[in-house]
Amino acid sequence: MCCLGKFKVAITDSDYPSHEIEEKILSSVNAELVKFQCKTEDDVIRYCSDADALLNQYAPITRRVN
C-alpha cells in the first residue's frame, strides 16, 4: 500500500484510449491508478513491483512477476 494510505493499481499495458471508468471506480475506493506500456516481464517488474494490483491486457505475467 502506498505511503499515503492509498492503494496503487497499475495498468501494465493497454490499447484503450481512455481509462475514465477505471479511474472513477478506483478513486471511490481510495486507489490511485498508474499507467504503463510494459512489453516484457522485466518492464512489469521494474514499473509495477510496488503496485497492490495489476490490470493487464497483453504484458507477460510470469512466475518472476510477484
27 is a domain residue? yes
Please write down the HEC assignment for all residues of 23-66: HHHHHCCCEEEEECCCCCHHHHHHHHCCCCEEECCCCCCCCCCC
44 is a domain residue? yes
Position 4 scores a pLDDT of 61
61 is a domain residue? no
Domain encompassing residue 25: 7-55
43 is a domain residue? yes
66 is a domain residue? no
65 is a domain residue? no
**What pTM did the predictor assign?**
0.85
Q: How many folded domains does the chain comprise?
A: 1
18 is a domain residue? yes
Position 2 scores a pLDDT of 47
Mean pLDDT for the chain overall: 92
Is the pLDDT at 1 greater than 60? The verdict is: no
Q: Mind listing the pLDDT tens digit for each residue in 33-65?
A: 999 999 999 999 999 999 999 999 999 999 999
